[in-house]
Structure 1
Amino acid sequence: MSFLDQLKAKKKCLKSTVTNITHADGSQKQILLTKTGDEVLETSRVQLKSKTYGFIVDTKPDFVPACISDDFLYLGSQDAVTQENVQKYKFTDILSIGIETPPSDIDSNAIRTHYVACLDLPETCLEAIVRQSNQIICDVHERTGRILIHCNAGVSRSSTICIAYLILEHKMSFDVAFALVKSKRECIRPNDGFLKQLKQMDHSNGV
């Protein structure tokens, strides 16, 4: 038997194999593929019992905001937007960065809400975003109000806005501003593109 004939013979004797298929919604199915002659047949399909998701599930709500500056500037996740926190911390304003103010039980007539569009992508230009956000923050400060700044997780976008505010309005260096915000909320992590732009905002350069 020639080598080619041997390969053809082995091709017809391939072992069955089990393959897991993950769909866009995170659900998974397990299928058994069997080689029969020159055809590959799906001989069985099993829905996996384990609960799976196509995204990270936040199982630990983050309700407590961090006071960043002068008992008026607070940073948190969207979980911190609650009527309880509004009353406890005496918030007068909520600034939502890149995510609409989440539905909650807050009294919208008793607090001002603001929204600034911002994608959490390294290539997002911060100049206009920071200018708009700083104007809102400064206005709250002048009114002697208290503002909660949040995004989705309170890790990248909203922390970036807080750091930019300290650099541009309080004339801090990037290192000092970053260290201050991180000391108040340890989980912060602006994306690499944001970090690069924040470093360029050092008070010696401006924006």
Structure 2
Amino acid sequence: MNFLKELQKQRKKLKETETIVTNVDGKRFVESKNDVKTISSNMYGFVVDTKPDNVPIMVTEHLYIGSQDCTNESVLINNNIKHVLSLGIYVPVPIDQKFVDCLDLPETDIKPVLRECLPYINVAIDSKENVLVHCNAGVSRTSMVAIAYLMQYKNMSYDDAYELVKDKRPAIQPNDGFKKQLRGIKPSELI
């Protein structure tokens, strides 16, 4: 018996299944062998976060990280934050701010991003002024930059810097491309 006939024979033994597919626009479909049915179109294709995440976390003295919710004026005042580094999402704030375009994609080259971000953070910290680093959710881009700062200026290994930031803000998770690039760079040689 040839391989194709063996596959066809085995295929007949398979149980028919249905797969639920959710598109980015929130439309949901049930796909089966012979049919595709729309089951819902009033959901989002991502998890909707309805709780504010407006508590900036101090990673080291003067370095805070968080989501875009932390850019609220009262949050900045209450934490004596004088500088804001916005990664990939611009939120106007009434204090010194730097916006750096950065997509949260594994293929994003982080070196140009770090060349813009790390000196800005370091100037604020050297001046003993609090700086907030944020992206949309404060999970991937924010953590990548905070880890890079620790590697560059505190001469920490990737693993040690990651553990410190993760200990302070458990929600962090740099994407796989960011992790790979950071691991491939020697501490203090990022910029």
Shorter-chain TM-score range: 0.7 to 0.9
- Equivalent residue number for residue 34 of structure 2: none
Aligned to 1:116: 100
Within the candidate set 117, 129, 136, 1:133 is matched to 117
1:144 to partner: Cα distance: 1.8
- Check whether the contact 1:172–1:202 (CA below 8 A) recurs between aligned residues: no
1:33-112 to 2 correspondences below 5 Å: 51-70=42-61, 72-101=62-91, 106=93, 108=94, 111-112=95-96
1:121-167 deviation digits (Å, cap 9, x = unpaired): 11111111111101100111122211110001100001100000000
| CA shift for structure 1 position 171 | 0.4
Name the CA shift for 1:91/1:189 in 2 (closer, same or farther; >3 Å).
same
**Partner residue in 1 for 2:13:** none
The offset of 1:22, in angstroms, is 7.1
SS in 1 for 2:122: helix
**SS where residue 175 of structure 1 aligns?**
helix
- Secondary structure in 1 aligned to 2:81? coil
Aligned to 1:39: none
Matched with 2:170 is: 186
Shift of 1:205: 5.7
Alignment check: 8 A CA contact 1:120 1:157 kept:
yes
- Name whichever of 195-204 and 164-173 sits farther off: 195-204
Q: Distance in 2 between matches of 1:165 and 1:93?
A: 16
What is the alpha-carbon distance in structure 1 between the residues aligned to residue 26 and residue 111 of structure 2?
36
Distance 1:119 1:168 in 2: 21
Identity across the alignment (%): 42
> Over aligned residues, Cα RMSD in angstroms?
2.5
CA contact (8 A) 1:164 1:201 kept: no
Alpha carbons of 1:146 and 1:51: their partners in 2 closer, same or farther (altered >3 Å)? Answer: same
- How far, CA to CA, are the matches of 2:67 and 2:25 in structure 1? 25
Which residue does 1:203 correspond to in 2?
187
Task: Choose 1 or 2 for highest CA Rg.
Answer: 1
What TM-score comes out, normalization by structure 2 length? 0.77
Q: Which runs of 5+ in 1 are unaligned?
A: 1-19, 31-45
Q: For the structure 1 residues 59 and 171, does the alpha-carbon distance in structure 2 shift closer, same or farther, using more than 3 Å as the test?
A: same
Partner residue in 2 for 1:43: none
Residues 98 and 151 in structure 1, CA contact (< 8 A), matched pair in contact too: yes
Q: Secondary structure at the match of 1:92?
A: strand
